[in-house]
């Protein structure tokens, strides 16, 4: 197995072949060009992997992380009326939850936290455009079958409309970071 090391980030070729210099150049260009990484999260255990990748890339590139949590919009007027009574309290709760979620990683990396309300895909795209993000990192839940066909994939939609590259990471399978 051949290993190329860029500070601490390792790239391996499992076929014992030399890694082409262009590939390592692409990685170095990616890392050196990162200034702001956007990481949408729902503060679940499942989304922790995207934070880990973001932290690692931010450490390698001295980039800043913007962590956003989007609270879904309400579909009906009845839901909206009930929610408006406690919206301020919910927003404060979401801010506290997001802050605690970030602090659970115990990393001294510049991070901006933001809670938004609305359609998740639209808000992620809007945040990426407004902040001129260099990369979006999202975890994928990996839904299949009927759930996927009815709901669709948030990560897939963000990837389709994002103004910058999107790194989609899964919890299962091979990982490049610990």
- Span 137-157, mean pLDDT? 72
Q: Characterize the bridge pairing of strands 36-40 and 64-71.
A: parallel
User: Is residue 2 over pLDDT 80?
Assistant: no
CB atoms within 10 A of CB 87: 14
pLDDT at 85: 45
Same domain, 103 and 136: yes
Q: Which residue has the higher pLDDT, 98 or 171?
A: 98
Same structural domain, 17 and 69: no
129 and 156 assigned to the same domain: yes
Range with the lowest mean pLDDT among 4-8, 19-23, 42-46, 169-173?
4-8
Name the least confident of 31-35, 157-161, 162-166. Answer: 31-35
Return the closest-CA partner of residue 44 out of 165, 147, 152, 140: 140
One domain, residues 11 and 77: no
Q: Taking all residues of the chain, what is their mean pLDDT, rounded to a whole number?
A: 77
**Does the pLDDT at position 37 exceed 50?**
yes
Q: How many domains does the chain have?
A: 2
Shared domain check, 66 and 1: no
SS3 for 68-109 is: EEEECCCCCHHHHHHHHHHHHHHHHHHHHHHHHHHHCCCCCC
**Its pTM surpasses 0.85:** no
Rounded to whole angstroms, the Cα distance separating 42 from 58 reads 20
Does 118 score more than 60 pLDDT? yes
Rounded distance, CA 174 to CA 135, Å? Answer: 21
- pLDDT over 90 (residue 170): no
Put residue 106 in one of left, alpha, beta given phi > 0 → left and psi -120 to 50 → alpha.
left
User: Contact at 8 Å (CB) between 60 and 8?
Assistant: yes
Q: Are residues 128 and 110 in the same domain?
A: yes
pLDDT of residue 111: 92
Q: Do residues 103 and 164 share a domain?
A: yes
Which residue range forms the structural domain that includes residue 25?
Answer: 1-33
Instruction: Return the higher-pLDDT residue of 5 and 49.
Output: 49
């Amino acid at each position: 197995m051949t290993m190329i090391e860029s500070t601490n980030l390792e790239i391996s070729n499992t076929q014992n072949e030399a890694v082409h210099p262009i590939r390592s150049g692409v990685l170095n260009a990616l890392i050196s060009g990162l200034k702001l990484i956007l990481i949408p999260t729902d503060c679940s255990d499942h989304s922790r992997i995207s934070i880990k990748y973001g932290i690692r890339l931010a450490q390698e590139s001295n980039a800043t992380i913007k962590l956003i949590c989007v609270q879904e919009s309400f579909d009906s007027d009845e839901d909206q009326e009930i929610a408006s009574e406690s919206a301020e309290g919910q927003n404060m709760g979401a801010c506290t939850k997001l802050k605690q979620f970030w602090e659970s990683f115990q990393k001294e990396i510049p991070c901006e936290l933001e809670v938004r309300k609305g359609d998740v895909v639209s808000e992620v795209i809007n945040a990426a455009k407004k902040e001129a993000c260099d990369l979006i990192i999202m975890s994928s839940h990996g839904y299949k079958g009927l759930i996927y066909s009815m709901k669709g994939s948030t990560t897939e939609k963000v990837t389709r409309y994002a103004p910058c590259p999107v790194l989609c990471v899964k919890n299962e399978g091979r990982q490049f970071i610990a």
